[in-house]
Structure 1
């Protein structure tokens, strides 16, 4: 048995080194069955940590985090761009049924989920806030200089910071940044979900 240096964690993925940032979170994600990664032609499994996480995969991750509850399929999909034959259809349905995602109202009257778009950091905060059934009061200040109290999801982002789910970045001027509209990589979502699972508020 190989003994790793302190602070290093082995994962089942060939593309995640034991000393890599978020390796422990990725290992936890795999242990919980929230991710399985990809089978590669050489017989290894990969996680693709620096790939953006799409919205359909986010639905799958949250559904598994919640224990993979049973989903009742409606007569028709609530989203014009999500079909019954699509991967993660049930998981997206569950997200909608739980009120975690409502998608977008389109000009033709339909609603869309945009499953193959990367999920942005502000929407991620909103999804986790709704999954937690949190009820924070609207914020008047935020801990991040790039998130104004009037911004969409400002309350949800402030909640994510308060509960330790996110720490953001320290800018060159020493201020805290959240970068709300940036897409999330798969390694970072492992960290967010792990912190969500162990949050204290």
Structure 2
């Protein structure tokens, strides 16, 4: 029986969503929905990474490192944990932008960093039509593809600026857990 009312068996990424839920990496809403096509925000992504790491002991600072993240806020500790490890960074203005959706290019960078930034030389020619050499996170996107964590889209694109949906993030998390 499906865990979520809006993710019946046979749904794209069904197995990955069920896995992410069973690992408590991505949680649903009280109405038993997962909302697979909703975008995943940076605060929820911080929580998923923290959970994937086994919820290690970490004491968040009493005074926030970010002007837009306040003590007591949902995922306060998790946001500071990922920032402390350099997995997700803030913006040049010092903000974290917790409720901003995370884009696919930043997702690649986050997973690359979570893997320990392993030595990797990206291809001279891109495997994705929309990711050219010199683009921010070019290396990280190609590393993600080289591990099988992402395959990109059927049309040969990666769509780096597109916010990542919860269903695709469940797939990325499962593949990352298996690959790294």
Asked if TM exceeds 0.5, the reply is yes
- Structure 2 partner of 1:90: 77
- Structure 2 partner of 1:135: 118
- Structure 2 partner of 1:120: 103
- Structure 1 partner of 2:25: 34
Unaligned runs of at least 5 residues, structure 1: 1-9
Which residue among 141, 144, 152 is the counterpart of 2:128? Answer: 144
- Structure 1 partner of 2:36: 49
Number of paired residues?
A: 179
- Structure 2 partner of 1:159: 143
Which residue among 67, 78, 86 is the counterpart of 1:80? Answer: 67
| Aligned-pair Cα RMSD in Å | 1.3
Which one has the bigger strand percentage? 1
1:86 is paired with a residue whose SS is coil
Structure 1 residues 8-66: Cα deviation after superposition (integer angstroms, max 9, x where no partner): xx4311110101000000000011111221112xxxx1111011101100101111111
CA distance in 2, matches of 1:73, 1:53: 22
CA contact (8 A) 1:136 1:159 kept: no
1:104 is paired with a residue whose SS is coil
CA distance in 1, matches of 2:76, 2:99: 12
Runs of 4+ in 1 over 2 A off after TM superposition: 134-142
Which one has the bigger helix percentage? 2
TM-score by length of 1: 0.85
- Structure 1 partner of 2:152: 168
CA distance in 2, matches of 1:142, 1:76: 43
TM-score by length of 2: 0.95
CA distance in 2, matches of 1:53, 1:36: 11
Unaligned runs of at least 5 residues, structure 2: none
Greater gyration radius: 1
